[in-house]
A and B are shown apart, each in its own frame.
Chain A
Amino acid sequence: MEITGEFIAFFILSILAICGAVFMIFFTNVVHMGVSMAFTFLSIAGIYFLLNADFLAVIQIMVYTGAISILMLFGIMMTRHKETEEKLNRPIHYGLSIAGAGVLLVSLVLLSRGATFVSDAVDTKGYGIEKIGELFFGTYMIPFELASILLLVALIGSIIIAKKEGQE
């Protein structure tokens, strides 16, 4: 395989993403967990940039790295009971989930190596924000509008759940 700048960048970014995810699981301090998750989000945004999906990358940084990570840290700060989480000692659960994930990983890798993808590699240069806009307000207009109702419902729901019950 030819080593290009793109390959090196992809390599570094994916290592960062995987490390962030692994540390997120194994850290016991909630704040550390939040920060390592932000690392994963950020590296995934980098991978989107490599794929020429600029818009998606910016959204990823704004929504996930920015909003969700910060929100989580705020949530931790406001509700903090104990900074470190006690380690659960459940060897059977642990073993089973690692075995399950391992089997899934191995089988997916093997299967995807065996599969041939019929469609040719697409040139991603033309897929900018204009194309996304066209799709949103053209072909996918109905799901797009439906998503607005979905957001409305989520808004109503979060208000109901979060609202403080007053005395009546």
Chain B
Amino acid sequence: MMNKVFEQIEWSLLTPETTIIAGIVLLLLTDLVLPASISRRWFGFIGLASILGSLAFVVSQLPLKPAEILFGTYRLDPMSLVFKLLFLTATALILLVAMDRKKGDKTDRYIAEEYILMLSALLGAMFLASSVDVITLFIGLELLSISSYILVGMRKHERLSTEAGWKYVIYGGVSSAFFLYGYSFLYGLSGTTNLFTLGQSLAEVVQSTQSDLFIVASLCLMLVGFAFKISLAPFHMWAPDVYQGASSPVASFLAVVSKAAGILFLIRFLLIGMYPLLRSEVWGENIMWALAILAAVSMIVGNTVALRQQNVKRILAYSGIAQAGYLFIIFPSLQSNLIFVSVGFYLVVYMLMTIGAFAIVHVVSKDTGNEELTSFDGLVRRSPGLAIAMTLFLFSLAGIPLTAGFIGKVNLSLNTFASGQMWLLISTLLVTTVISYYYYFRIVQRMFVEKATSDQKVPISFFSALTILVVVLGTIGFGIMPDLLLSKLETVKWGYGLIPLEGIQQLKN
């Protein structure tokens, strides 16, 4: 009987993930077979090929028929598809930047492992995107986290990298423990790991008994774990140290893919598992405020602490904390459906500008040997193209009109405003945005006003240049014509990601 069930499963749904696994295995074996004398710099192409293959499979799954394997431990729906596209594109761009390496770089020893770990982290994020069962979600999250711990700590010749790796492992382990501890209470209440079943049994609990506060307590414990992943203050302490210690491509991976994965997990968890609470009083009295405080504190802490930093990567880390706070202002008012469009748009835009900024930091620091603010001195006289691109990314991060970041921010604020409650959060966003201009402009001022330390052009590889070009086009393009992306995102049936398969079939009939 079991065999029959086994054959009925549509394993073909898993092709995007298996392509990535194939890439990992291929890299491992090639590294093993190849003599040590042969350079492994071209290994990035294997990784890139598997990502592009996976992208092709994801696209070939369009037009989408939502489906599940094995009771929701694997699930394909519009929401997972969009996020998978985001993860794959981001990793492909980051991989291109990571292939730009200095001659005789000490990290070349572990070059194969570096690409393998990037792929495995991507794999974790992809599984996280396509599941509604807490066990798969958690293992996906851990695969993503453990790969990133190693990626951060693998530059062993640098003290900062080792320190960052340690900090990341310990903070990450504690936050996972908080998450599991919180879920253990919910498991005790519901006896299930499937988010839909969890939602149903919580609905019964909420109606019949006074267990609301118990659920809120477990959710708060889990929020610690989520907030850590998304690097929301006050659980952000790891981010600046880790970004500083990691190589720039890895830092941008953490800032983009890891954060987006955490946000998706949180959306699914709140809107499927915690669905019964959304309509209850508990939401308005407790959870909404917890989320609002997380958003406000992140915006304030991120933007003010960044003022004092001298290291560009640390500035970008604090800016990332603030960006997570901006994105989070929409969470307290989760009711409206528009949130997915603005969250999706903001994530795409955030991906573009963050990858761009980190790519330029990577290129510049490869030349100057450090990431201090001073290494950007007079960049415009050395490489005007890079300086202008960096200015564009910083303007976009700051949210200045005609850049994509501006549209993203306006979109988020408008949709939050439409739900009417959180005017305090919107005013925090406005005030902290103005504060943030200071530190973004400080970098710009360094590039344009200060004297250059050398007059040589900053060397840049073809692939980094390609990435920066793509990202620049995206940042300007979506800034001037946001409808290109917004109209696409509006046609996505986000709601299908939040209801069981039977519900989708009923909706279609």
Contact = CB atoms under 8 A, between A and B. Distances in A.
B117 interface: yes
Q: Which of B131, B147, B153, B190 has the most CB of A within 10 A?
A: B147
B21 interface: yes
Given A142-B70, A147-B139, A149-B123, A157 B21 contact: no
B210 A119 contact: no
Contacts of A141: 70, 73
A150 B139 contact: yes
B140 A146 contact: yes
Given A108-B217, A139-B73, A153 B117 contact: yes
Contacts of A154: 146
A96 interface: no
B409 to A, nearest CB: 35
B127 A146 contact: yes
B120 interface: yes
B201 interface: yes
A112 interface: yes
Given A108-B217, A149-B21, A160-B154, A115 B209 contact: yes
Interface string A63-80: 000000000000000000
Contacts of B230: none
A156 interface: yes
Contacts of B493: none
B146 A150 contact: yes
Contact of B211 (A108, A116, A147): A116
Given A153-B146, A160-B150, A116 B135 contact: no
Given A139-B73, A142-B74, A146-B127, A111 B142 contact: no
A118 B201 contact: yes
A140 interface: yes
Nearest to A108: B217
A142 B191 contact: no
Interface of B is mostly: helix
Interface in A24-73: none
Contacts of B131: 142
A118 B150 contact: no
B214 A112 contact: yes
Contacts of A149: 21, 24, 120, 123, 143
Contact of A114 (B70, B133, B214): B214
A20 B146 CA distance: 29
A117 B139 CA distance: 27
Given A115-B189, A156-B116, A157-B149, A143 B217 contact: no
Contacts of B117: 153, 156-157
What size tier do the contact residues of chain A reach? 20 to 34
A115 B212 CA distance: 8
A107 B213 CA distance: 10
B190 A111 contact: no
Contact of A111 (B2, B133, B154, B217): B217
Nearest to B212: A115
A154 B165 CA distance: 14
Contact of B150 (A108, A147, A161, A165): A161
Given A114-B213, A153-B150, A146 B139 contact: yes
Contact of A139 (B71, B156, B211): B71
A126 interface: no
Interface in A102-134: 107-108, 111-112, 114-119, 122
A161 B143 contact: no
A111 B209 CA distance: 13
A143 B209 contact: no
A156 to B, nearest CB: 6
B154 A161 contact: yes
Given A143-B136, A165-B156, A118 B69 contact: no
A95 interface: no
A153 B143 contact: yes
A138 interface: yes
A114 B215 CA distance: 11
B201 to A, nearest CB: 7
B348 to A, nearest CB: 27
A142 B136 contact: yes
Nearest to A159: B113
Given A111-B217, A142-B70, A161 B211 contact: no
B391 to A, nearest CB: 37
A84 B296 CA distance: 44
Contacts of B147: 153, 157
A136 to B, nearest CB: 11
Interface in B262-281: none
B423 to A, nearest CB: 31
A154 B150 CA distance: 8
Q: Which of A114, A146, A150, A160 has the most CB of B within 10 A?
A: A146
Contacts of A146: 127, 136, 139-140, 143
B146 A114 contact: no
A149 B120 CA distance: 8
Contacts of A152: 120
A138 B2 contact: yes
A118 B204 contact: yes
A112 B204 CA distance: 17
Given A140-B73, A142-B127, A160-B113, 19 more contacts: A108-B217, A111-B213, A111-B214, A112-B185, A114-B211, A119-B190, A119-B191, A119-B201, A139-B70, A140-B135, A143-B136, A146-B140, A149-B120, A150-B124, A150-B146, A153-B117, A153-B143, A153-B147, A160-B154
A-B residue pairs, 10 tightest by C-beta: A157-B150, A115-B214, A115-B211, A116-B209, A143-B136, A111-B214, A143-B135, A142-B73, A143-B139, A153-B120
12 contacts: A111-B213, A111-B217, A114-B214, A115-B189, A115-B209, A116-B211, A117-B188, A143-B73, A146-B127, A153-B117, A153-B146, A154-B146
